[in-house]
Homo-oligomer: A and B are copies of this chain.
Amino acid sequence: MDEIQNRKLHHIRLALDPRVDFKDHCSEIYREIQLVHQALPGLDFDEVDVKQVFLGYRLEAPIMITGMTGGHPSLVSINKMLATLAEKKRVAIGVGSQRAIVKSNFSEDVVASYRIVRETARSVPVIGNIGLNTLRDIDTDTVIRLVEVIDADAIAIHLNPAQEVIQPEGDTRFSLDVMDKVKELIASLRKPVIIKEVGNGLSMETVRVFHNIGVKIYDTAGACGTNWALVETLRNQPGSSRYECGLKLSEWGIPTPLSVIETRYVAEDSFIIASGGVWDGFKAAVNIAIGADMVGVAKPILKNILDNGLERAEAYLDNYIFELKTAMFLSGARNIGELRSKPIILGQKIVNMMLQRGIDPHTYLNNTRRMK
């Protein structure tokens, strides 16, 4: 096992540790965004339609299993289970960072640990994955090859500065020179580029930079679920700067629903995936109602698969979809589009947050969130 593969395995184990989640999973901010119960929904439960089209595929539910793993033969079986699940439930799926492929110089068994996803999940979107700082060091053709070797429908570029700062061997280059590489990639790759965080959320300032050069898909990965700075903290020595600093990042970042709002505000025409602690169907409904097109889930899927097996993971997704449907039904929303125009009661705190960010809550609710 080389260093990256090792780190991947270690990461997976650490990331399942409950200590590394954002505390309370943003329960306060979710209490600030309330759908309105309709005693007369005006539709039958069975009419509730959660289908969504993503990257040309018709999905059974507006859900993506976001990128987590790959890079080592021992990870093949995990990726296979994830892909089996995605294929069975007809939801989108991403692979973990493909940096290991680059490092291994496209060695066949490393590639295979990712390609298993497409091999297993033939009828749903498969998303490649690469870090912004890896992108910096490779040429565009290599990225294109990364997409091709796993037959991906798009590639997600992840931005993870908080993780890199705390990670012992972290790569903290986040200067803007890389933007030329991103532009080149957009121009050359015939598939869409997705910009994603890994758990601290996308801000409007960050989204604006990418929207200006044509990115049209965003995955918020907001600060409500897995906290990668905390994961990395545990890999440092107590007392060290990284350790002490990491602990203080325990609540750092943009909570998922706010990240959705900020992203929709500057990228009205884009496809937005709400992720970061969107771990049940009610949270999914709230994020979609407030402006997202789809949700992303990572940690609970992996945890279910590793702890309880594929069947429980499937049951988790079934429950998730039932909850989403129930939230939609009780709000009187027939489909994803309608959910985005149903009444919402915003609390004072999020109203204030929006105002502080220059977003008029009234205009946002009545127009912006319904865009696209």
Q: Spell out A's residues near B (CB within 8 Å).
A: 36-47, 132, 159-162, 164-165, 172-176, 197, 200-203, 205-206, 209-210, 223, 239-242, 244-245, 248-249, 252-254, 280-282, 315, 318-319, 322-323, 326, 329-330, 332, 343-349, 351-353, 356-357
Contacts and interface: CB of A to CB of B under 8 A. Distances in A.
A371 to B, nearest CB: 21
A79 to B, nearest CB: 25
26 contacts: A36-B203, A36-B254, A37-B162, A37-B200, A37-B223, A37-B252, A37-B254, A39-B159, A39-B161, A39-B201, A40-B159, A40-B209, A42-B175, A42-B209, A43-B174, A43-B175, A44-B173, A45-B164, A45-B174, A162-B330, A172-B329, A245-B326, A345-B353, A346-B356, A347-B349, A348-B349
B245 A332 contact: no
A132 B43 CA distance: 13
Given A41-B174, A173-B44, A347-B352, A36 B205 contact: yes
Given A40-B174, A343-B357, 16 more contacts: A36-B203, A37-B162, A37-B254, A38-B161, A40-B159, A41-B161, A43-B175, A43-B176, A44-B175, A45-B174, A241-B318, A245-B319, A245-B326, A248-B282, A345-B356, A348-B348
Contacts of A343: 203, 205, 357
